[in-house]
Amino acid sequence: MTPFGTKEEMPPEDMYVKMQKQMVAMPLDQIMKKVSELKTMCICPQCPTNNECAKNAKETLFCSTGRSFHCITENKGCLCPTCPVANQMGLKYQSFCLMGNEKAQRFDAMLKM
pLDDT of residue 3 exceeding 60: no
Question: What is the structure's pLDDT at 1?
Answer: 45
Question: What is the structure's pLDDT at 56?
Answer: 96
> Per-residue pLDDT tens for 53-89?
999 999 999 999 999 999 999 999 999 999 999 999 9
Helix boundaries (H) for 2-83: 15-25, 28-41, 52-56, 62-65
Question: What is the structure's pLDDT at 18?
Answer: 93
Specify the length of the chain in residues.
Answer: 113
- Distance, in Å, from the CA atom of 60 to the CA atom of 54, rounded to the nearest integer, reads 8
> Per-residue pLDDT tens for 7-56?
556 567 899 999 999 999 999 999 999 999 999 999 999 999 999 999 99
Instruction: Please give the residue that has the higher pLDDT: either 1 or 92.
Output: 92
**Please, what's the b/e burial string for 81-95 (b: 16 or more CB within 10 A of its CB; e: otherwise)?**
eebebbeebebebbb
Confidence of residue 4 (pLDDT cuts 50, 70, 90): low
pLDDT of residue 108 exceeding 90: yes
Tell me the pTM.
0.83
